[in-house]
Structure 1
């Protein structure tokens, strides 16, 4: 693998040494304030954060009532914060951050990239990992404790660039930030002289993390990646944004488990696509001003936002927006949604899970994905459709199935 990375770097270095200077001589304005990022290097810095012991993890999940999950805690893990180079929404270089979890006492760990679910507060981001906060690290450390070097991107808008708007459910930026995190992770592995069993990267995520994982898989499998895509596991995801927004608006009177999620989504798309009008075109008073005033700026937790916004979507979304949108209006928003639908079927083995009572990510998202996969001739896919599970309870079914699948793959690899 090091030879591959070295070759990859040599190619990039040659390109930038001979071709990029020529381009700059011909076309660059020397007064530009565009940041210059070393194009031959992803990893900017790494810093040890803390150690979580196997006993602490087992106790955490046992206290959470998930005794079955606690049995998968096998190793202590060291947690590192990293900063790495990636690309911003405007196509310019930007630094992003994430966390890497390294299991201790295992000779040849495997590799895993975990894309986190929806978070509102920057304190929950993997690289932040504040004491006393049940963060992404707390919840995902179990996967690393199974014996996986685990990469956890913050995504844009969290960690070192928390002042930037997070591109929620935005395919290209989630894929790129996650992919570049893996590349930085491979450089971290080389720097720390770690010896993984192979360089196949398994990928998983729930909710927004499921969407990000499939976006990442598409980028990894359709580009000249220097790593292979391993096992993929996704749960409770929204993959067809267009149909999901239609469904939400057509069923505006039905209960929704996460009104803040859809408020966040509309707020983000309105801003990153610079859509015409104002937030008052979507949201009723006084919530329009509350949202535009920084509700989703990373300083409020999920519970705080839920206390501010109404419980029911019908009390938040304007009737005029609902009727006009369903009649074919708001074309720019419709085009943005269409652009970000996930329709790629990965070549890798896929586990997909969804609860039938999920009111955040309607189950038809996974139904349609599975049907499309079968129509495309895909045979290495498993669909677990859990009757009666909602978005909050479905994550446990997905997690147990994922842990079991990863455990089987590790044992199979060990005897090969």
Structure 2
């Protein structure tokens, strides 16, 4: 799961982007890179850790607009040529990309350039230049390219001829715009990457593109219609994403588990001291004839315990499914199912694919997640938050414990109306 950071408007872009990439290391990666506009576009890439990238970025490299990326290889082996950012043939356009483009081979056949990498990403940036050569309009060339991409993407694009603008888009991959103080704006895959400079973020929806300047954010759909959206405050304490005196995040997060359980009890406790949920959540679940728990990895395993809790305590039949399998092979559903999505981040792509299908069928959805405002939270009918605080370690500890605790709260609450 790759990571993207970007910034426009500040003179100390390099260090902010490098620190932002370090905050995204938890997502896993095999290489990293940065690009700045400063007397042309400077691109610096390296295989391995962010520390290795730091060593190859010159001390005087900087600019008022820049993008950065951590890559986890999908198309092509980990290497400097395959690392992001990628540039168009003329080097006018520079792009970073999260996700997977499913029709890259078909698009490649339309290009008349020699590709320098094995990636689907380079195909995107070459297609943008091809469309620009035909239209003469960067925004339109970007929009035309987005229309033909099949798959998932989060994109940030620099135009060397106009460093006053950063072009951004997303579809099925997480990406946020962070608001500065009127002199800069940022983009990031995760709010944690840019808490160092802002806690104000705008959610981006699938199929949108953003024209970002140092003091403005224009969100458009792919027909060019402007979309209005308010910012939200990221409810994350910057100190929560630091290791403090711990040697690594996993040990820190293991030690936080008792505090997380206490916080969950407090959050779901009424004035009388009883564990209870909002009536809207209870109404959403009661009357359903079966609960389908959907999750990946750790969340799937938490769901297996949730099945036992919901069936034994609340008496509601429950199934647990791996979201990547369920999305391609949905079983016969009961007449009144409820879909319950488990996700620490709330951005799990496979789970969201199932949510989209469930909504098409008219079935209600409940999300249990750690991140308010995340995609799975925003698009479900209701959300129960884990209240676990940021989890950085790849191996989940406190979020797993929190998922089981909130599932227990749900099961207990659903049992009350049944006596």
Query: Is the shorter-chain TM-score for this pair beyond 0.5, marking a shared fold?
Result: no
With a CA cutoff of 8 Å and minimum separation of 6, indicate the structure with the bigger relative contact order: 1
Name the one with the larger strand percent. Answer: 2
TM-score (norm 1): 0.29
Name the one with the larger helix percent. Answer: 1
